[in-house]
Amino acid sequence: MKKKNYPDKKKYKSYSGVKPTENVNRIKILMHACKLFAQNGFHGTAMRDITRVCNVTQPTVYYYFENKAQLYLESVRLIHATVYVVMRKFIVREHGLLIELLSYIYILEEYRKVSSAAISILSKVMLHSTNPVLNGENFENKLYVLPRMTFSRYKDEADWEVRCNLFAAFMHSYFMNESSFKVVSFDEEHTVEIVKFLVSGNEKKREELYELARPLLPEVKASIQNNIKRDFELRMQMLKYFGIEQILD
């Protein structure tokens, strides 16, 4: 049986047989590991560096993590999840932006028809935005695996809320206000309904959504055409703005 990249959401197995001390926990190790990996990359960070910063023994680290590779992947997941939580704080402040969201969905579809390269850039922006935190580490291939694993794991999920919220997490990452570093948001119920129709192949309903977005098409299209490259750079700034030190300290 192929070994999973991530442990199940159950009690973590003791890989070393040594229980950690009371003042050590998994999140503390992860937080310190995130900083070290960000500064030195995967190969430049040794387990002894992590244990020294955490003031623990290596068996204590191995109690939670089987090896450095697993700790690295879990660190990236923590960074992404934490950034998303911070972004959500901005999202909940905004209301009434459903039409703006729909206009972007419309443009994404238009770009899909005429430029596979453009849609590829837009669809991968969220994944690439994690790279600056890793300080140049060539982690791109592994990053691409994460969303595939997520959707593969939940492809048979019967609860639409679960599936749609997973998809919405990616959608949220696309729409950032460049002037204030706020994420363009939309009502959660609308999100669920939009994604339902997008993934269910209901062309009639999707066309209705597009009609709502058409009035904003020229302005939004011009913005995207002029700023695809800058869009990527802005997300680099977003990670720096939310910086790993600010998030994890």
Residues 158-204 have pLDDT tens digits of 554 454 444 444 444 443 333 223 333 334 444 445 545 544 555 56
Same domain, 186 and 136: yes
What CA–CA distance (Å, rounded) separates 30 from 189?
34
Same domain, 53 and 133: no
What CA–CA distance (Å, rounded) separates 224 from 222?
5
What CA–CA distance (Å, rounded) separates 232 from 240?
13
Ramachandran region of residue 158, left (φ > 0), alpha (ψ -120 to 50) or beta? alpha
Mean pLDDT of the chain: 54
Tokens of 58: 């290596």
- Predicted pLDDT at 45: 86
Same domain, 110 and 220: yes
Alpha helices in the chain (DSSP H): 26-40, 47-54, 58-64, 68-91, 98-114, 116-128, 140-153, 160-174, 188-200, 203-213, 217-241, 244-248
**Coil, helix or strand at residue 139:** coil
Confidence of residue 217 (pLDDT cuts 50, 70, 90): low
- Predicted pLDDT at 118: 41
Structural domain for 221, as ranges = 88-248
The CATH number for 61's domain is 1.10.10.60
Same domain, 113 and 200: yes
Same domain, 115 and 147: yes
**Residue 124: inside a domain:** yes
Same domain, 179 and 239: yes
How many independent structural domains does the chain possess? 2
Q: Which amino acid is at 7?
A: P
Same domain, 38 and 98: no
Same domain, 189 and 102: yes
Same domain, 179 and 236: yes
**Residue 172: inside a domain:** yes
Same domain, 208 and 98: yes
**Residue 159: inside a domain:** yes
Confidence of residue 52 (pLDDT cuts 50, 70, 90): very high
